[in-house]
Amino acid sequence: MSENEPSRGSTPPFPFTLVTLVDSGGPPEWARVWNALERLLDDAKGPAAFLEVPADGAAHDQVLAAVSAVPPEMKKVLVLGIGGSGLGARAALSALKPLQRGPGAREVRVLSNVDPVTVADAMAWFDPADTLLNVVTKSGGTVETLSQFALFADRIRSRGGDDALARGVVVTTGPGEGTMRKVSSSLGCPTLDVPPAVGGRFSVLTPVGLFPVALAGHDTEKLLAGARRVVDGIRGPDRAVQPAIRSAAHHFDLMGRGVSVRVLWPYCDRLASLGDWFCQLWAESLGKKGDSGRVGQTPLRALGSTDQHSLLQLFMEGPREHCLTFMTVGEPWPAMPVPDFTSLEPALGEFAGKDLCQVFDALGQGTMAALVQEGRPLARIHVPRLDEESLGALFAHFEVETALAGYLLEINPFDQPGVETGKLFAHGLLGRPGMDDYRRQAQALLTEEKES
Ligand code: PA5
């Protein structure tokens, strides 16, 4: 299979291309794919509401108004959020970092893990006088985010009392009775809404990701416009060439052939966090107990060229269980000609005068060629220019691909029942009223494990 950008006539080129270099599967079962796509599109007003997000101008306006209302002395922003409430913003901030930013751009960081050393570092950076706290939790009740909130809110209150909390905190949360929703109404601080039908890992283009990205000075309208290219494409007449649909069909086929690991391999440090975001999306959406048994495919994020010195050996000669998606970027890169040191050693002449980007590119091309020679299932996404528009398109591409793969697998890609048990045990261990049984069960399970 080989597919390219779905551009037509005078339509501007699609923000990225997808080419399958080695297929090693069979032809997609198109009837099944179109059926799954119809069901997905029908669900856009229900569980697949993420499809409506890029066109939600009202939510975007709410975000821009909230950005304008942030007090000017707030030069920095700390986002608290984990899983789908943190990974997307981190991916966007990292991917867009070298771009020109708009006036009033803030320095934005995301804190997810509750590891006390990491939190202590963030506390050392956090100055309540100039740092806004954006607490992001769709459910409003996530242990990591709520415990971090208490630590940072205490810093803000100690400096300026409750007024400072109302001025220095913005909450992004779902509607309903969640703890953080109640906290925000007690504080009287600005609150942004997460659409209830959009699952956490599909929420990067809602206020969850848009608010931090806009505060960092990036163009969120372009981000949404890029995403609309993908969503409009799967609704339009050229469905058969849409990268998200072809890729979902391809990976569904590979899963059926026992290819149990999917490697996303950006050749670009700025896309490493996008790889982490994708891993959560693919793992949590597809790893399910379906009606016909357990399904899913383990996602793995590699990074070029670093992982040529680590994981590549396994992909080349290990078990035939991997398929790979390379991601390459055309621009922007800083010019960095390699100085000539042949006077010291002639072997250094291989690099002399070349741009570092050419060296990087040769390493990527060499690795792709080696994988093709070895017959490993390999696709390449090439992004001619990594900017807001192409990033928005990539977010939407992976979301559509993942949801469609879930519909093909006949599971619900929008829930995550398997993560609930661990949360209940943790609440029991933390002493939540009425959850003593969970504490006792967790303690018993871990004791038995130790003794076995
Ligand atoms: O995709 C998901 O739904 C999860 O990964 C959540 O985003 C994560 O558990 C955080 O949840 P919340 O936003 O409720 O704090």
Where do the H-state alpha helices sit in 104-203? Answer: 116-125, 143-168, 179-187
The helix (run of H) or strand (run of E) holding residue 415 is none
| Per-residue pLDDT at 451 exceeds 80 | no
Predicted pLDDT of residue 3:
44
CATH 3.40.50.10490 fits 17-44+223-409, yes or no: yes
Q: Residue ranges of the domains in the chain?
A: 17-44+223-409, 50-218, 417-452
The response to whether residue 200 sits with its C-beta less than 6 Å from ligand 1 reads yes
Among 13-17, 20-24, 104-108, 125-129, the range scoring the smallest mean pLDDT is: 20-24
Predicted pLDDT of residue 10:
60
| Per-residue pLDDT at 251 exceeds 60 | yes
Q: What is the position in ligand 1's atom list of the atom closest to the CA of 208?
A: 13
| Per-residue pLDDT at 449 exceeds 60 | no
- Encode burial over 279-305: b for 16+ CB neighbours within 10 A, e otherwise: bbbbbbbbbbeeeeeebbbebbbbbbb
Q: Identical fold at 17-44+223-409 and 50-218?
A: yes
| Per-residue pLDDT at 1 exceeds 70 | no
| Per-residue pLDDT at 358 exceeds 60 | yes
CA distance 111 to 90: 9
Is 423 labeled as catalytic in the residue annotation?
Answer: yes
What is the distance in A from the centroid of ligand 1 to the CA of 331?
33
CA distance 61 to 290: 39
Tell me the percentage of the chain whose pLDDT exceeds 70: 96
The protein residue with its alpha carbon nearest to ligand 1, atom 3, reads: 200
What is the distance in A from the centroid of ligand 1 to the CA of 45?
21
CATH number of 50-218: 3.40.50.10490
The response to whether residue 145 sits with its C-beta less than 6 Å from ligand 1 reads yes
Is 284 labeled as catalytic in the residue annotation?
Answer: yes
Catalytic residue among 309, 317, 345, 450: 309
Mean pLDDT of 238-246: 92
Q: Which two tokens stand for residue 286?
A: 């597809």
| Per-residue pLDDT at 212 exceeds 80 | yes
Q: Are 298 and 283 in contact (CB under 8 A)?
A: yes
Block residue for tokens 């691909």: 401
The protein residue with its alpha carbon nearest to ligand 1, atom 12, reads: 137
Among 27-31, 64-68, 74-78, 411-415, the range scoring the smallest mean pLDDT is: 27-31
The response to whether residue 243 sits with its C-beta less than 6 Å from ligand 1 reads no
CA distance 20 to 380: 6
Taking each helix axis from N to C terminus, what angle separates 220-235 and 243-256, rounded to the nearest 10 degrees? 70
The response to whether residue 85 sits with its C-beta less than 6 Å from ligand 1 reads yes
CA distance 19 to 178: 44
| Per-residue pLDDT at 85 exceeds 70 | yes
Predicted pLDDT of residue 24:
73
What is the distance in A from the centroid of ligand 1 to the CA of 132?
22
Mean pLDDT of the chain: 94
Comparing 67 with 10, the larger pLDDT belongs to: 67
* CA-closest candidate to residue 378, choices 328, 413, 309: 328
Got the DSSP string for 54-108?
GG-HHHHHHHHHHHHTS-TT--EEEEE--GGGTHHHHHHHHHTTTS---TTPPEE
CA distance 405 to 275: 18
At residue 8 the predicted structure's pLDDT band, cuts being 50, 70 and 90, is: very low
